[in-house]
Structure 1
Amino acid sequence: MSLHLFDFKEAIGQNYRSALPTEFKISASTTYDILVMRILTSNIDVHCKKNNKTIKLSENFTPFPLHLVGRKSSKQLKTLLHPFSLNDYVKFSKKYYGRNIIFYHNLLQELAFYFHYTNEKNHQAAFVNLYRILEYVSYSFPLIHSSHFGNYIGSFEAFRAYFTDVKTSEIGFFEKFTENLFRGTGYLSYTTDFDFSHADIAVANNCYDAFHKLAKSSDWITANRATHALSIENKRLIRLFKDTRNRYFHFAVGGQRNIQNTDLKDPDFFFEKINSKYLNWIGFIYGTVIRESLDNALL
């Protein structure tokens, strides 16, 4: 299976492939949804046709916090789906994939470009694809999640819970969704940690200060300029994600002074330090949506 500018190649060693159902093995017929799972768990290689480079992925973005991947095998996929099996997902995919091909195709495309730009150390460009992913899943994840309830009342109640009022924005909608998705689990009160340490202290201070200004001082659980460490509760992470985009890519928002290129001594370093954290949260939400969809779907 390939996209216009990307091919996907098997990264699992020959000795470990027997644990994969046929549908999970990389071939011309591998479906986009399975490719999305494999790229987020980093047990696949991404080949860019434009520059003829193969990207060796190394981080599993589906657990929280993300894990470095050592030996690539079916383990990452099995852990993602637990307590369900790979074959359970194959049944689920065969039933629902056809109505969501465009969604998975677009999501895979954005992920491929994100990893391409990250591999090229163009982290500022990678953030653009990352934010496109956020906007794309903000309505899609709640719709996918609610559509797999086994009864109409359950589906309606699940979907209605995501709205706060008629003015709810896409991001507000998604925040409400994650609030419901993780209620009672503790994940929203866990923190995501950012580290702006750099050999050049001026760059470290500069990027730390710029990021610190994106949230209220009271929102930061950790804010240590001496170590350039910041941490924030996950319940505020989507809002921080949005504000990063608005304050950097817009010239004016609500009268606030935004982040200009002249404010950052090294924009690519700045985005390098935050991109993987945002993708980890999206990947973790994605895995949770898959498991709950499997649990609610009529297999």
Structure 2
Amino acid sequence: MTDRYSIIDSIARNNTRYKHLKTEENPSPILNIFRLISGTVNVKDNYLNKTYKIRDNNIKFPTEKNLNNKYETILELFDENITLADLNNFFLKARSNRKFYKSIEVELIKCIVAYKDEKYLESFIYLYRIIEGISYSIPLIFVSKKDDYNKTYHDLQSYFGKDKDGEILFFKRFVSETFKDEDFYRSNITIDLNMVDIEELRPKYYELYLKKINERFILDKAENSFIKIKFIGYYDLLIELRNRFFHNMKGTWQENFDSTELMFPDQFFKPITLHGINWLSIILFEIIKFDLQKIR
């Protein structure tokens, strides 16, 4: 894939069928992204000679561990009328926007590897880089493949809104309008403060999270324990945490994080990041499924 990282297929090694589902035989960035977010590959760091088993199935909501790593693990993610032969044909033909998907693939590997190494802040950085990178392009790719020109035009108008206020909000509108009827969109995400290893930090981090979440997205909470928020509200939280952590201008109306508040930033981002990877993976998978439908 790159000079540093290689994707190793942990399913198809001894299987002679479905060659276009095999990462080592099919150099498709879309295939690699799918296999990464479904948790069905290994990633090797060629510099450190270290191999990571990627088994978090982030297409499931919430994330599940893959206990059995085989073709059926892939197939069960799709509708029951989809076969392995269909997927093999899809990943053979899915060649458009290759450069764009290649950039996502590189960032995604770094995001997942950092998470596996318990470098949660670093993982969050790459997660946000992906979101920024796709926030404008993914909606345009999606609507460009629709058959109805009038609906495509109407959809784009609704994503832009009246104020033309940037790509991040453009992407939020796209997700809200396109997936509002999906089960995952109507679900919720729980930020578990018990994931913070240093117990004394939990009350402080609980308050910091609460300050950065729009109240209308909060469904439930328990002091210093958990905060349950809506699916789309989690996107707002990711953006807000990025802005408040990476900006440090004084004298503005925003309340940016002070370094004394986040003495252990990896601990602060630990309860956040896997949910973010899960959130992103679900959206990426919806785009892959849409492409599959068009090719079929």
TM over 0.5: yes
Q: Distance in 1 between matches of 2:197 and 2:37?
A: 30
1:260 aligns to what? 258
Which secondary structure does the structure 1 equivalent of 2:172 belong to? helix
Q: Which amino acid aligns with 1:202?
A: E
Secondary structure of the corresponding residue to residue 259 of structure 1? coil
Instruction: Indicate the residue corresponding to 1:63 in structure 2.
Output: 60
Describe the SS at the equivalent of 1:262.
coil
Q: Matched residues in 2 for 1:91 and 1:13: separation?
A: 16
Q: 1:12 to 1:95 in 2, by over 3 A?
A: closer
2: CA distance between counterparts of 1:186 and 1:29? 32
| Cα deviations by residue, 1:159-190 (Å, 9 ceiling, x for unpaired) | 33322124231111111111112223343331
Q: 2:101 corresponds to which residue? A: 104
Identify the match of residue 118 of structure 2 among 110, 118, 121.
121
Cα RMSD after superposing both structures: 2.2
CA distance, structure 1, for counterparts of residue 238 and residue 73 of structure 2 = 26
- Greater Cα shift, 204-213 or 77-86: 77-86
Distance in 2 separating the partners of 1:129 and 1:276: 12
Task: Please give the alpha-carbon distance, in whole angstroms, between the structure 2 residues aligned to 1:115 and 1:298.
Answer: 29
Note the C-alpha offset of 1:95.
4.3
The residue matched to 2:260 in structure 1 has which SS?
helix
Amino acid of the residue matched to residue 10 of structure 1? D
User: For structure 1, which segment, 44-53 or 155-164, has the greater mean C-alpha deviation from structure 2 after superposition?
Assistant: 155-164
Letter in 2 for 1:232: I
Distance 1:142 1:24 in 2: 26
- The within-5 A match list for 1:163-174 is 163-174=160-171
Q: 1:157 to 1:87 in 2, by over 3 A?
A: farther
Task: Give the Cα separation in 1 of the matches to 2:255 and 2:19.
Answer: 53
The 2-side partners of 1:123 and 1:39 are apart by 18
Contact 2:23-2:31 within 8 A present in 1 as well: no
Question: What is the match of residue 277 of structure 2?
Answer: 279
- Offset, 1:7: 0.6
2:11–2:41 contact (8 Å) kept in structure 1: yes
1:92–1:294: 8 Å Cα contact kept in structure 2? Answer: yes
Q: Tell which deviates more after alignment, 48-57 or 213-222.
A: 213-222
Alignment of structure 1 residues 226-237 onto 2, 5 Å: 226=224, 228-237=225-234
Which has the higher mean CA deviation after the structures are superposed, 78-87 or 274-283?
78-87
Structure 1 residues not aligned, in runs of 5+: none
Give the letter for the 2:11 counterpart: I
Does structure 2 retain, via aligned residues, the 8 Å contact 1:81–1:287?
no
Cα separation, partners in 2 of 1:88 and 1:166, compared to 1, 3 Å:
farther
TM-score, L = length of structure 2: 0.90
User: Displacement of 1:220 after TM fit?
Assistant: 1.8
Letter in 1 for 2:150: I
* 2:69 counterpart of 1:72: yes
- Whether 1:178 and 2:185 are equivalent positions in the alignment is no
C-alpha contact 1:196 1:273 (8 A) present in aligned 2: yes
Counterpart of 2:33 (choices 11, 36, 41) is 36
Paired positions, count: 293
Residue type of the alignment partner of 2:147: G
Match of 1:138 among 109, 132, 135: 135
- Give the match's secondary structure for 1:55: strand
1:219 is displaced (CA, Å) by 3.3
The correspondence for 1:241, drawn from 238, 242, 248, is 238
Per the normalisation by structure 1, the TM-score is 0.89
1:294 aligns with 2:292: yes
Match of 1:212 in 2: 210
Counterpart for residue 9 of structure 1? 8
1:211-262 deviation line (CA, Å, top 9, x unaligned): 2211134532122114x20111012121111001001111149512211221
Residue 195 of structure 1 aligns with an amino acid whose one-letter code is D
SS across alignment from 1:135: helix
